[in-house]
Structure formats: C-alpha cells, structure tokens
Structure 1
C-alpha cells in the first residue's frame, strides 16, 4: 500500500474507485488505513491529494486513535496472584495477536494495535497468559498439597468454565479455570484443597466441610474471598 511521509507520521492509504463521485473524499477511521475515494487517478495524483490534506489527516489520526476508557494503556493495572500490577504497553505492529509477559513485578504487553490494547483482546491475551502460568503454578502446589493432606487426584488440567472456578470429575481429575491465577497464594491453596476433598466426598455434605476444616482451618474466610470473585466452587 502507498505511504506518504508527513514529518514523523506515516500516512498509509487505500484507494477505492467510485466513478459516481465527482470529487475525491478522504475518510479516517479508528484502526483502519486512510481511505481515499473518488474517480480513478494514478498513484501520483492520489499522493498529491493525500499531501494536500496531510495536516488534517495527521490530526484526525491522533483523534480517532485515542485510547478508549476501557482500553489498556501503559499505567493500567491487571490482576495476578492476589494483587494488581502495572502494565507497560509496547507497540508491536508485526504481531498478529497481543502477547503478555510478566517480569520485575510488571506486565509487558506487546500490542499490534499500538500504544493501547482494546479490552476484549487484552482479556483473551491475559487468559492465555494465565493458562500458561496455571500449568506450572497449580501443578506445583497440587503436588505439594497432595503430600500434605494425603489426598490424591488422578491428574489435573486447566479448563475454562462459564460459572465456576474449579471442578473434580467422577474420576478425580481436578479442573481449574485459568483465571484462578488471579487469586492470592492462600486462596489458590484453598481452591486446590477444596477440589482434593472432593476426591473423597463428591457433595458439599457435613463430612466434606469437616475434611475441609481439617486441612484448611481458615477455609470460611478464603471461601468467601473466592465466591465474591464472581463464580462458585
């Protein structure tokens, strides 16, 4: 696609032939290339039209690409392990999707959108990040807590649920929502212990809660913390 360099701004445009129009019109929309519409003209004339309106185009690009309130920008914060951490958004136009890493107590976010990340794309990328971390973190804590409690699961897996944080199957496979990585260490341990207890008692009966109390004396406070996060156990 042709590009016109206006100072430090690269104006990339696409031309759309519209023989019904007597004149040429320029449209600038959020997240899209500049659109030049009108009668057929060679690229040299297209560039002349872009150059003539370059100042206006630059201003419009800055206006329409301003981050929305719900967008993630540098300075936003995101939850992880019971806290919220600083986000640094780094433009990465060559990427096809948002990539997130966590180092030195901050999220580094590579964004194909530029200096911001739209909320839906960030949510999906953060869940991918959680899923990757959950395999490592939950696996390690599960192995430790199995030794501590004497309770054993068949295995575990990371699975997205619509309305619950975790599950224990009939075959004692423990399943955890990737967003469990939002919880503090204590709350995470409680979720794991809760599901381990289901390997013995499948329902929430008196024996189940006695078993919970045996292995997690502060379970009531932690149970409230987990359920107040919007989903059930």
Structure 2
C-alpha cells in the first residue's frame, strides 16, 4: 500500500473505487490504513488527495489509536514482550519523582509514587520506551543475520513510531520498525524483517514479492497470520 510521510507521521492508505460518489471521502479507523474512496483516480492523484487532508488525518489517527480504556495496572497484571505476557509487580515508592518501569528475566516492575496501581495511559510511554530500547539493542543483530541469509541488503535501519503499521522499507531501502515489534514472538519479528528486506527488491505486494518471501522463509503464512491477529494499538 502507498505511504505518505507527513512530518513524523507515516500515512498509509488504500483506495476503494465508488463510481456513485461525485467526490472523494477519507475514513480513519483504529489500527487500519486510511481508506480513500470515490471516483477512479491514479496513485499520484490519490496522494494529492491524502496530502490535502493530511493534517486532519494525523489528528484523527492520534485520536483513534489512543490506548483503549482498561482497568488500572496492579500487581498481578500482565504485560506483553517477545510473544509472551509477563507478571507485573506495582510497588508504591512515595519518594520517586515519576513512575519507573524495569524488566527482570521473569517480570516487569513498576515503581509508582502515586500508589499500588497505575493507569495504562501513564504506563504506555514507559512501556514504549522499553520496547524502543530493546528494539535498538536486538533488531540490528537480526537484520544483519537475515541480510546474510537472504543476500538482500538494506541501506540502514531505524526505529520509528507509525500510526497503523509494524514496519516499512522506504524508497532509499532503509528499514523502519515500530518499537512495538518487540511485543511479537521472535519468529514473527524475523518474518517482519524478511518481509521488509524483500521490499528492497519488490516494492509492492505482487506475486513476485510473495514468491521472494517464500523463497527465503517457507511457511511464512504462519507468522503472517500471527501478525494479522496481533492487537496493534492495545499495549496493555
């Protein structure tokens, strides 16, 4: 699907022909690419239409992709990392200036100055920082491994916050990963890497693209299904 970079926001969209409409409409939904529908237009015209509404789209994406309201996080709650959910301990630390999040081999620990529970909205920035740090530590090693395995070369990689996608390969062959890729099982992380490496050769999801993915990762459909079912947008 095409992507428009608007400031720090990557807007991914798809087009739906509706010849009954006289103008074009944009729909923004949680965890999905932007829908552009209306009379037939080619991709450059689609991009111009999306750019015209880009500021509005960015604001709506920020609204609809906010973490959904849920119960406060307390000792015994579980947070996701690397395909598993881990026991979480919330400790009341009155002297702490702000909440802190740490991870041991078997659990998350939250030090909270405000009590023995913390709202997901307050925890989300801490959890995303943890994912970002782990992504910066671990993903470059996996990218190098898969470059050696496949012979496909990226121009670089970086961690980037997207509104509605896990990863991207830009026009300069730089791989970009959402920090929350670290929620996923290692095998699915590997699939995401191989998927984006294949985009260095085939930019679109053509038959040739999927054949290239299959040549490097037979049985990729299992990982793809896990990815499709992953609850992007629900961190806690």
TM > 0.5 between the two?
yes
Query: How many residues were matched structurally?
Result: 164
CA RMSD of aligned residues (A): 1.5
| 1:129-168 alpha-carbon deviations (Å, 9 max, x no partner) | 1011110111111111111111111111111111101000
Following superposition, the deviation at residue 104 of structure 1 comes to 2.5
Structure 2 CA distance, aligned partners of 1:182 and 1:110? 21
Unaligned runs of 5+ in 1: 1-67
Residue equivalent to 1:141: 142
Once the two structures are superposed, the pairs formed by residues 1-233 of structure 1 within 5 Å of their partners are: 70-230=71-231
Separation of aligned partners in 1, 2:191 and 2:162: 18
Instruction: Describe the SS at the equivalent of 1:70.
Output: coil
Please list every run of 5 or more consecutive structure 2 residues that lacks an aligned counterpart in the other structure.
1-68
User: Do the aligned partners of residues 210 and 69 (structure 1) sit closer, same or farther apart at CA in structure 2, a change above 3 Å counting?
Assistant: closer
In structure 1, C-alpha distance between the alignment counterparts of 2:182 and 2:113, rounded to whole Å: 25
Q: Work out the CA distance in 1 between the residues paired with 2:103 and 2:213.
A: 33
Q: Deviations over 1:194-226 (max 9, x none)?
A: 001001111001111011001111111111110
Q: Distance in 2 between matches of 1:116 and 1:170?
A: 44
Distance in 2 of aligned mates of 1:208 and 1:120: 39
* TM-score for both structures, normalised by structure 1: 0.67
Distance 1:97 1:171 in 2: 40
Q: Which residue of 2 aligns with 1:18?
A: none
How far did 1:94 drift? 3.4
Asked which structure has the greater CA Rg, the reply is 1
- Which TM-score applies when normalising by structure 2? 0.66
Q: Which runs of 4+ in 1 moved over 6 A?
A: none
| Aligned-partner SS, 2:85 | strand
Contact 2:70 2:120 in 1 (8 A): no
Shift of 1:230: 4.0
